Amino acid sequence: MIKALVIVPYEGLYEMMKEIQQEVEDILFDIQLGNLYEGVAIAKEAENNGYHVIISRGGTASMIQEVVSIPVIDIQVSGYDVLRIITLVKGFSRKAAIVGFSNITQGAGTICKLLDLDIKTLTITKDTEVKEKLTYLKNLGYEVVIGDVVTVQAAKQLGLTGVLITSGKEAIFEALEETRRTSRIFSKLQQDVSMFKSILDYDDRAVAVFNHEEKMIYGNEFYYHEFQWFNLEDSADIKRLIQETASTRKKQTKTVHIHHSFWEITACPKEETIVLFFEKDLLDQAGINKGVNLNAIEYRTSTSYVPISGKSSPIQKVLKQIDQYSISESPVWISGEEGNGKELAAHSIYIKRKTMNEPFIVVHCDLLSAEQLKDLFQKYPAGVIFLKNIDKLNFDLQKELYKIVKNENNKLQWLASSEGNIEEKIKDGTFYRGLYDTLGQSKIYIPPLRERREDIEDLVHVFISELHPKYGNEVVGIRLDALEEITNYDWPGNVEQLKQVIEQLFIQTRSFYIDKEDVENVLIKLEQPEFKNDVLTSIDISGTLEEIERQVITKVLEEEGLNQSKAAKRLGINRSTLWRKLK
């Protein structure tokens, strides 16, 4: 019996491997979700746990090969995989290109020619070429990039739409056959390797080792537990700390904000590396003791974001204003209904203005306290501040904020958003005019989705492309009559509500295309009033436990307007568990 560890980079492939697992008898494999560095962390323990082989995909497989001595099998991209994705992006109204290694582009180029599709293909030989190729495509007006995980991540950093080529069952079965062939050759080479075992894995601190190029070459278990969804190589603060320590060759300690928490980081030079020791800063605990809502402020340094999508005149006007206001550092006020992309517009301005050292600081004004307002601007005298829902800030704090904004000594850039009619709030005395006059020098109004229905088709295809690698089912598009139903709906929750509905439809669809009937059923539920009685009063308890559980989840999901995040939070489970139970 071959014992294999399968490390997959996205959730859809995880689910597909679970299904195939039931069909294979001669390979005993465990499946874990992990992309790039996460996958490497999982793979490092594989040999100690008695695995004979590791199965992975793309860039994750390549990185794993560098750190283990047991065989690593790569799930290759097949022609079927490429054809599925090309079919998916046919509905895009924007220029698309395929970027990847030759194993992707050769077959993809042939398929595009056969189908007479205007999709450009560019071949790379190493991952460091990706950014250059994508920048070149962006300058030529391309907005959609198809490729593997590395390509998609780089695309999003440049503000392009990245579409991941996912793996189908054909490619997986071929990888399993390669596993059998390889295992016969390397079966006697399985050995217990503990070279990298260290006491650092048992430390209650997060520990990471970086080289002088700011590339991480080691992280202990606690490090990966704390930062598994955050790549510290992209942190400007971490880069500066490594550079300073490498230059001075002296130990130093600094406090840095990472992923919603403050960390005290000690940097120690060691030969050709810099060792970082992370400990939670007492500032976080102090905030808890004061009753401060730590979710009121978000610090972001990642440049990855989803570009604003749409071809209507109103949204094109918004995009032009974003470009225009990104040239200067003057304040920008973004208004519009809930869920229509005000934060996305603010982030777009930040991306276009960004330099190496500027964080994007999101201030949730409905949660902000006076203590946080004061501490925030003392700690960060420079950066881009996005005052989200500033109209929900209480009047006293508005006056305090006005004093800070008018302070000529700070180097802050100001972005603000609001939902209501600010002029009416100024007239009734609930909003301070001085603050509005100062921050509203440049204004962007994002119209509701019902006033720009021609954008809906493009948004639907964007959302489907994003969901495909997440869930891994066979959906590649939507029927025209189903799209017409969606386009004619008023969408009171705007783009965010549309996205939630498309995700619900994507999960429940069992064919290649979303049908009109499914759309009608979902939209009917959206029009129903919220349930006032307990959710269990309408549950049929005569069925099995699994059936009852599904009924409860469905009812809660309906009550939350198909918002999976809210439903999962209410049920006390994560979103992945939610959609798996609904499958």
Along the 583 residues of the chain, how does pLDDT read in single tens digits? 899 999 998 888 898 999 999 899 999 989 998 877 888 889 988 878 888 899 998 778 888 988 888 889 999 877 788 888 888 887 777 888 999 877 677 778 888 888 888 888 998 887 788 999 999 999 999 999 998 878 888 998 999 999 988 888 888 999 999 999 888 877 655 444 344 445 666 777 889 999 888 888 888 888 888 887 778 888 888 888 899 899 889 998 887 777 666 788 899 998 889 999 998 754 444 343 333 445 678 776 544 455 678 889 999 999 999 999 999 889 999 999 988 889 999 989 988 886 545 678 889 898 888 888 877 777 766 778 999 999 999 999 999 999 888 886 777 899 999 998 899 999 999 999 999 999 998 999 999 999 999 999 999 998 998 887 777 778 889 999 999 999 999 999 899 899 989 988 998 888 889 999 999 999 988 877 553 344 444 555 556 666 677 777 777 776 776 666 677 767 767 665 666 666 5
Residue-level pLDDT at 440: 93
In angstroms, the CA 576 to CA 374 distance is 38
Beta strand pairing call for 297-300 and 360-364: antiparallel
Beta carbons of 391 and 366 less than 8 angstroms apart? no
In angstroms, the CA 470 to CA 9 distance is 10
Residue-level pLDDT at 50: 84
Residue-level pLDDT at 355: 59
| CATH class assigned to 455-582 | mainly alpha
Query: Is 233 in a helix, a strand, or coil?
Result: helix
Residue-level pLDDT at 285: 40
Q: C-alpha 118: how far from its chain's center?
A: 29
- What is the DSSP track for 102-164? HHHHHHHHHHHHHTT---EEEE-SSGGGHHHHHHHHHHTT--EEEE-HHHHHHHHHTTPEEEE
- Any idea which fold 300-447 has? Rossmann fold (3.40.50)
Regarding pTM above 0.75, the answer is no
471: left (phi over 0), alpha (psi -120 to 50) or beta: alpha
291: left (phi over 0), alpha (psi -120 to 50) or beta: left
Residue-level pLDDT at 390: 95
Name the CATH code of domain 79-164 (choices 3.40.640.10, 3.40.50.300, 3.40.50.2030, 3.40.50.10660): 3.40.50.10660
Residue written as tokens 């998609």?
152
Helix boundaries (H) for 421-563: 422-427, 433-439, 456-471, 480-488, 494-508, 516-527, 545-559
Residue-level pLDDT at 136: 93
- What is the DSSP track for 309-338? ---SHHHHHHHHHHHHHHSS---EEEEE-T
> Which pair of structure tokens corresponds to residue 345?
């517009």
Nearest to 469 by CA among 75, 36, 149, 128: 149
What would you report as the CA-atom Rg of the chain, rounded to the nearest whole angstrom?
26
Residue-level pLDDT at 6: 95
Residue-level pLDDT at 443: 95
* Residue 222: count of CB within 10 angstroms of its CB: 18
Nearest to 524 by CA among 496, 489, 550, 551: 489
Residue-level pLDDT at 415: 95
Residue-level pLDDT at 316: 94
Q: Which residues of 103-129 are buried (b: 16+ CB within 10 A; e: fewer)?
A: ebbebbbebbeeeeeebebbbbeeeee
In angstroms, the CA 496 to CA 339 distance is 5
Same fold, 79-164 and 455-582: no
Torsion 252-253-257-261 (CA) sign: positive
What is the domain partition of the chain in residue ranges? 2-75+169-189, 79-164, 207-274, 300-447, 455-582
Q: C-alpha 549: how far from its chain's center?
A: 29
- What is the DSSP track for 194-226? -TT--GGGG-SSEEEEEETTS-EEEE-HHHHHH
* Residue 67: count of CB within 10 angstroms of its CB: 15
Alpha-carbon distances, residue 75 vs 20, 36, 105, 172 (angstroms): 14, 15, 16, 6
Is the domain spanning 2-75+169-189 CATH 3.40.50.2300? The answer is: yes
Beta carbons of 79 and 72 less than 8 angstroms apart? no
> Which phi and psi (to 5°) does residue 360 adopt?
-105, 110
